[in-house]
Amino acid sequence: MERSFKKEIEALKLGEGEIFQGEGILAVTKALLESGVSYVGGYQGSPVSNLLDVMVQAKDYMKELGVHVEACANESSAAAMLGASINYPVRGAVTWKSIVGSNVASDALSHLSSVGVLGGSLIIIGEDYGEGSSIIQERTHGIALKSTIWLLDPRPNLQVIVNTVQKAFELSEYSHTPVMMQLRIRACHLQGTFITKDNVKPNISSINKIKEVAQHNYDLIAHPPSTYAQEKLKYGQRAELAKHYVADNSLNEFFEGTIKEVALIVQGGLYNNLISSLEEMGLADSLGNTKVSIYVLNVVHPLIPDEIISYAKKFKALLIIEEGQPQYIEQELGLLLHKEKINVDLKGKDILPMAGEYTSEVIYKGVFSFINNYIPDFQNFSNLNYNVEIDQLRNEASSFLGEVVPARPPGFCTGCPERPFFSALKMVEKDIGKIHVSTDIGCHSFATFAPFSFGQSILGYGMSLASSAGVQSFSEKRPIAIMGDGGFWHNGLLSGVASRLLNNSDGILVILQNGYTSATGTQDLISTPESSNRLAAASKSSTSTDKTIEKALEGLGVEWIKTVHTYEVGAVKKVIAEAFKSSFNGLKVIIAEGECQLERQRRLKPIKANAIKMNKRFVRVKYGVDEATCTGDHSCIRLSGCPTLTVKPSSDPLKVDPVAHITDGCVGCGLCGENAIEATLCPSFYKAEIINNPNLKERFVSWLRNKVIGLLS
């Protein structure tokens, strides 16, 4: 039972003059439909996963509108979808996660931007940068500059975001250029309202199909000699058209303040953080009324020279608030003002940090320093000691704690089927010595943290086998590459497996098959089990009998393939050891399967609730620890890392050390017991069956047991 977006789907159907209430990324989804989009594609990833998830679940409504929705195999295939808008006047939108997705899509993006588009083409980027990021710290801005794609960074306000989506299509069509719109994680999850419009059925769609194919036009092929002319068009005609459109439609915003000496220039996405910091200084209120002038760049590429020049002439100094490095905007503005001989002090990264997220606190420090430098006698601050107060609060908190708070890195979910594999690998490593592990993007990357601490590198989604090729050539012991089934289908099959077979080289690949692209919201894969198989597996922890991955590997020519269930730690340990010791000189693939526990619990919980409601018998398994047997060694915890396997003070006053303890969060996966057996640990774990609505025989047996135990005690 997958997560339901029923409520969100209904919000997509709102009509003219109604009020939408919800989060930013769903507002974008609604705006796409209001803009008459013909097709939508993308690859899931935080913080934009919901856009595609909602549209996929709303397939019946999408068919009614004639909108084609496609969950693509990777970002490259998503970007290539926009090729439909090169020859036809159709609007298309694709989405993916930040720089990692743009890197994968960059080849298609380069060709698309070279040729240009006839229909509006919008790329919605989840700009996952800063303290909450789960990826490398780079900016989409560099991709936009490299490929000459216009980049929008709307102010985090739902009405502004929706308007920006609609204007983005017009900008794309007017300048014949694809447009990117980046949304930071806070903008994607921002809650708010906006007034909706009717959804627009596209003129060309899956309902209104065209009868004639577009005429061949070699000028629209990204191939020499056409590319030479296309290169001139990009920063000639198209750039000028874009600048005129942005200026004529006032896409950037000006908020005028009463202070005349200094002003601020800020990326649109940072506006809310800026207002929060100004509010602390007494320079603005929560509604955005400000005493210091602000030029909000909802379009960060291209910049509009006339707007910048006229704005700069009004002030003695300007501060550019630009998150991340390098300072693209500051450099471009600095060059423009220098050429135009505008006498204004331009400040930016010399006051604000070069790298890192610009939180309200960071912006406060920079803006405070900037204004204080140019207006030293300025007395309108209501909170001059804000920075001092923050530092004092931190010091007080530290003194109350008495010691440094231990780090709490992310970890596997309770009962995650990938944890048992790494428990087995830890046991194998104890037997054969340290192993070089090439890790990958996905849930399994949590094994790089304690207690497993596996992994020497992460090079990209599905790239683990490819990244182990060099090590394989000179390492006496075979390195092991680990990827999920999501990474396998995204990139691993070609970049890793095909490459290894092409070179006829040795190696070990482990594919952790949990049935979904789990880390991004458990989206379906080509190898995701059918609904009927998922229900059949409700009482087990397996994925299914689906052999799609095995068949793909066999079809490509892989000869050594072993499939094992992750929760069977002994079997996993045996097959890993076999792969290391095997005399077979070639690629060895271990498919370790076990269904994503989140999806399994989503399916089991309603089954359990319904059974209890109907007074039907329902059995669930839970594990526990016998305090009398537990030695307090805690090797079990070091081999598991399960959040429900912890410690507590012993009830025996003669036992000084705490004993192992399993909390009520246990989902009954059985890993703790399996580890105890395979690692020859103390036999303190027990398995219990909790029965709701037991039958008469079970009630009698329970009564009898309690009587006997009572007598013996």
- Domain map (residue ranges) of the chain: 11-194+216-247, 253-400, 419-600, 617-712
pLDDT at 30: 96
Give mean pLDDT, residues 595-614: 87
User: Is the confidence at residue 687, as pLDDT, over 90?
Assistant: no
Query: How far is the CA of 663 from the CAs of 409, 624, 642, 643, 668, in angstroms?
Result: 20, 8, 10, 9, 11
Could you say which DSSP state residue 404 is in?
P
Range scoring the smallest mean pLDDT among 49-53, 139-143, 175-179? 49-53
User: Is the confidence at residue 542, as pLDDT, over 90?
Assistant: no
Query: Is the distance from CB of 102 to CB of 109 less than 8 angstroms?
Result: yes
User: Is the confidence at residue 545, as pLDDT, over 90?
Assistant: no
Whether 419-600 shares its CATH topology with 617-712 is answered no
pLDDT at 541: 45
User: Is the confidence at residue 558, as pLDDT, over 90?
Assistant: yes
Range scoring the smallest mean pLDDT among 400-404, 607-611, 624-628? 400-404
Query: How far is the CA of 672 from the CAs of 409, 544, 677, in angstroms?
Result: 21, 24, 9
* Rounded CA separation 4/8 (Å): 9
Tens digits of residue pLDDT in 296-342: 999 999 999 999 999 999 999 999 999 999 999 999 999 999 999 99
> For residue 304, what are the contacts with CB-CB under 8 A and spacing of at least 6?
243, 246, 247, 252
pLDDT at 401: 76
In DSSP notation, 173-234 reads HHHT--EEEEEEHHHHT-EEEEE-------SSSSSS--SSPPPP-GGGSSSTTHHHHHHHHI
Query: Is the distance from CB of 658 to CB of 650 less than 8 angstroms?
Result: yes
User: Is the confidence at residue 537, as pLDDT, over 80?
Assistant: no
User: Is the confidence at residue 575, as pLDDT, over 80?
Assistant: yes
pLDDT at 592: 95
Tens digits of residue pLDDT in 464-492: 999 999 999 999 899 999 999 999 999 99
Burial of 92 (0-12, 13-18, 19+ CB in 10 A): buried
pLDDT at 408: 78
CATH 3.30.70.20 fits 617-712, yes or no: yes
Tens digits of residue pLDDT in 192-205: 999 999 999 999 99
User: Is the confidence at residue 711, as pLDDT, over 70?
Assistant: yes
User: Is the confidence at residue 55, as pLDDT, over 90?
Assistant: yes
User: Is the confidence at residue 56, as pLDDT, over 80?
Assistant: yes
pLDDT at 533: 55
pLDDT at 532: 52
pLDDT at 573: 95
**Percent of the chain residues topping a pLDDT of 90:** 67
Could you say which DSSP state residue 588 is in?
E
Q: How confident is the model at residue 536 (pLDDT cuts 50, 70, 90)?
A: very low
The C-alpha angle 522, 524, 528, rounded to 5 degrees, equals 110
Measured distance between the N- and C-terminal CA atoms of the chain, rounded to whole angstroms: 46
User: Is the confidence at residue 212, as pLDDT, over 70?
Assistant: yes
Identity at 625, one-letter amino acid code: V
pLDDT at 383: 56
pLDDT at 384: 56
pLDDT at 677: 85
User: Is the confidence at residue 1, as pLDDT, over 50?
Assistant: no
Report phi then psi at 181, rounded to 5: -125, 115
User: Is the confidence at residue 3, as pLDDT, over 90?
Assistant: no
User: Is the confidence at residue 550, as pLDDT, over 70?
Assistant: yes
Structure tokens at 400: 């109350």
pLDDT at 688: 87
Give mean pLDDT, residues 11-19: 96
CATH H-level, domain 419-600: superfamily: Thiamin diphosphate (ThDP)-binding fold, Pyr/PP domains (3.40.50.970)
* Rounded CA separation 16/219 (Å): 41
Report phi then psi at 595, rounded to 5: -65, 140
* Rounded CA separation 169/120 (Å): 5
Q: Which of 238-252, 405-419, 536-550 has the largest mean confidence?
A: 238-252
Average pLDDT along the chain: 91
* Rounded CA separation 292/375 (Å): 12
Give mean pLDDT, residues 592-609: 89
Q: Which residue has the higher pLDDT, 707 or 122?
A: 122
Residue closest to 689 by CA, chosen among 676, 677, 702, 678: 702
CATH H-level, domain 11-194+216-247: superfamily: Thiamin diphosphate (ThDP)-binding fold, Pyr/PP domains (3.40.50.970)
Give mean pLDDT, residues 244-268: 96
User: Is the confidence at residue 535, as pLDDT, over 50?
Assistant: no
Tens digits of residue pLDDT in 57-67: 999 999 999 99
* Rounded CA separation 537/599 (Å): 11
Residue closest to 517 by CA, chosen among 486, 548, 547: 486
User: Is the confidence at residue 543, as pLDDT, over 50?
Assistant: no
pTM for this model (two decimals): 0.90
* Rounded CA separation 579/596 (Å): 25
Burial of 696 (0-12, 13-18, 19+ CB in 10 A): exposed
Tens digits of residue pLDDT in 21-47: 999 999 999 999 999 999 999 998 888
> For residue 101, what are the contacts with CB-CB under 8 A and spacing of at least 6?
43, 45, 75, 125, 126
CATH 3.40.50.920 fits 253-400, yes or no: yes
Lookup result for tokens 């060059």: 335
Q: Which residue has the higher pLDDT, 3 or 497?
A: 497
Tens digits of residue pLDDT in 362-379: 999 999 889 988 887 766
Are β-strands 507-513 and 480-484 bridged in parallel, bridged antiparallel, or unpaired?
parallel
pLDDT at 522: 84
Give mean pLDDT, residues 431-449: 93
* Rounded CA separation 685/63 (Å): 53
Our measurement of the distance from residue 275's CA atom to the centroid of its chain's CA atoms, rounded to an integer in Å, reads 27
3-state SS, one letter per residue, for 639-666: CCCCCCEEEECCCCCCCCCCEEEECCCC
Give mean pLDDT, residues 419-426: 95
User: Is the confidence at residue 419, as pLDDT, over 60?
Assistant: yes
Q: How confident is the model at residue 557 (pLDDT cuts 50, 70, 90)?
A: very high
pLDDT at 345: 96
Report phi then psi at 173, rounded to 5: -70, -40
> For residue 345, what are the contacts with CB-CB under 8 A and spacing of at least 6?
316, 317, 318, 374
CB atoms within 10 A of CB 490: 29
Region for residue 522 given its phi and psi (left: phi exceeds 0; alpha: psi -120 to 50; beta: otherwise): left
Sign of the alpha-carbon torsion through 50, 527, 122, 101 = positive
